[in-house]
Amino acid sequence: MTRMSPAPLDPRAEPVPLAMGRLGMRLLLLALGMLFAATLSGYLAIRGGAQAWPPPGVPKLPAALWISTVLIVVSSVTVQWAVRGIRRGFQASLRNGLLLTLLLGVAFLVSQSINWFSLVAVHFTARTNLYGFLFYLLTGLHAAHVLGGLVPLGVVTAQAWRGAYTAASHSGVEYVAMYWHFLDVVWVILFAVLMLTS
């Protein structure tokens, strides 16, 4: 019996590490998506059972939450600019896109901190009532994931400025972009729910 030779590899096929990495990222994002969905479902269930929501005397949500929203949406655009740039071999687009995304991510957290401090200044904290607890839980959970995302984003940005990525090899950029787009979508959903139910 003759042994059949293996089929030749398709040079256009995606490298295995990137394909496996994308699968891993999708599983991670699926798990995180379930976490946020469960938290948001809990918020909606409590809101649905409340006689008045938000409770009387609760201050309006800061208008600056719109600024936070604009910042994170724009950061999703800049990280995609970086991805498109490196896919075409444009190092300047990669570096500038990642750097802008990093700065916008930091600006988002600063904006969120200002929002929280403005609410604390009028004595609205997580201990005020259940509404306050849920507001800080939802926004704080998201902010924690943004803060966590800034670490790999910072590493990838530093690597990009060292010329570590090429059009053929840039998996780190792809993974960071996937995570960042996820954070963008989650925030837009949270923001919409908070605004519509408040």
Give the integer Cα–Cα distance in Å for 123 and 136.
Answer: 13
Give the integer Cα–Cα distance in Å for 27 and 21.
Answer: 10
C-alpha pair distances (Å), 48 with each of 4, 24, 51, 171: 64, 36, 8, 43
Residues 119-172 have pLDDT tens digits of: 999 999 999 999 999 999 999 999 999 999 999 999 999 999 999 999 999 999
Residue 105 maps to a domain: yes
- Range(s) of the domain holding residue 186: 16-196
Residue 71 maps to a domain: yes
Residue 59 maps to a domain: yes
> Comparing C-alpha atoms, which of 151, 152, 159, 160 is closest to residue 176?
152
pLDDT at residue 1 above 70? no
- Give the per-residue pLDDT at 38: 96
Mean pLDDT of the chain: 91
Number of domains in the chain: 1
Residue 2 maps to a domain: no
> What DSSP character marks residue 164?
-
pTM value is: 0.88
Both tokens of 166, joined, read 């090429």
Residue 8 maps to a domain: no
Cα torsion for 155, 166, 163, 158, to the nearest 10°?
-10
Give the integer Cα–Cα distance in Å for 75 and 98.
Answer: 9
CATH of the domain at 160: 1.20.120.80
Residue 1 maps to a domain: no
Q: Could you identify the residue written with the tokens 């800034």?
A: 150
Residue 21 maps to a domain: yes
Residue 170 maps to a domain: yes
